Chains A and B, each alone.
Chain A
Amino acid sequence: AQTVTQSQPEMSVQEAETVTLSCTYDTSESDYYLFWYKQPPSRQMILVIRQEAYKQQNATENRFSVNFQKAAKSFSLKISDSQLGDAAMYFCAYKPGTASKLTFGTGTRLQVTL
């Protein structure tokens, strides 16, 4: 069974600084997808970034980027120039192919301070 592990229950970053959230996963598949979702206090889930395992290039979306290390099965999220609005719970998720269910990690709560 696939598992997704987020070892940091809580993180804190100062406004304008950079923070990295960790995620590791376990799979025997060669073709899969990885995601980061953001859940702000409103509880609405937002897809932040998507990475396809066959692509070596790390995905980037504005201030959000990932460090995808396939051999190490690691998928970290880097948030640059942190803003107060980035404060949220962040979930890492895995999907083994397009027609498969998502498996979510346990989440990391990010606090952004002034």
Chain B
Amino acid sequence: NAGVTQTPKFQVLKTGQSMTLQCAQDMNHEYMSWYRQDPGMGLRLIHYSVGAGITDQGEVPNGYNVSRSTTEDFPLRLLSAAPSQTSVYFCASSWEVFGEKLFFGSGTQLSVL
């Protein structure tokens, strides 16, 4: 049982580059979400999805794009990377919409130079 799988684990980008962080879960969870974790800021919600074809913005959505074409996958796209997007990114899923029993991936450490 893989749970929530995030790739890559580490990534370095140059300012202006684009990339996609992958997230997949094998638990048939309807709810999936993306957080960023920054020192002194805690975890902040970027985007979330309550099911295939349905996405919505969280607290800090600017500069990021998401889609949910299947229940399993919820990729996060950085359109034009900026140094302010240097962070650790976590994907999380749960049975319930906005459920507190979140299953987190192991994170992606992203540096934008």
A interface residues with partner B (beta carbon < 8 Å): 4, 6, 9, 33, 35, 42-45, 47, 50, 91, 93, 95, 98-102, 104-107
User: Which residues on the A side are within 8 Å of B96 (C-beta)?
Assistant: 98
Shortest beta-carbon distance from A53 to chain B in Å: 13
Give the number of chain B interface residues (Cβ < 8 Å).
20
Closest to B6 in A: A43
**Can you sample 21 A-B contacts with CB below 8 Å?**
A4-B42, A9-B40, A33-B100, A43-B90, A43-B107, A44-B106, A45-B92, A45-B102, A45-B104, A95-B98, A95-B100, A99-B97, A101-B45, A101-B48, A101-B98, A102-B98, A102-B100, A102-B102, A106-B40, A106-B41, A106-B42
B43 near A91 (CB under 8 angstroms)? yes
Tell me the dominant secondary structure on chain A's binding face.
loop
Q: Max chain B CB contacts within 10 Å: which of A42, A45, A100?
A: A45
User: Which residues on the B side are within 8 Å of A91 (C-beta)?
Assistant: 42-43
For window 25-63 of B, CB contacts with A under 8 Å fall at: 40-45, 48, 58
Please measure, in the bound complex, the distance between the C-alpha atom of A105 and the C-alpha atom of B41, giving whole angstroms: 8
Question: Which one, B88, B101, B106, contacts A47 given CB within 8 A?
Answer: B101
Please measure, in the bound complex, the distance between the C-alpha atom of A43 and the C-alpha atom of B61, giving whole angstroms: 22
Closest 8 A/B residue pairs (Cβ): A45-B104, A104-B43, A106-B42, A104-B42, A43-B107, A43-B106, A101-B98, A105-B42
B interface residues with partner A (beta carbon < 8 Å): 40-45, 48, 58, 88, 90, 92, 96-98, 100-102, 104, 106-107
Closest to B58 in A: A101
Please measure, in the bound complex, the distance between the C-alpha atom of A101 and the C-alpha atom of B59, giving whole angstroms: 10
A99 near B98 (CB under 8 angstroms)? yes
User: Which residues on the B side are within 8 Å of A33 (C-beta)?
Assistant: 100
User: Which residues on the B side are within 8 Å of A47 (C-beta)?
Assistant: 100-102
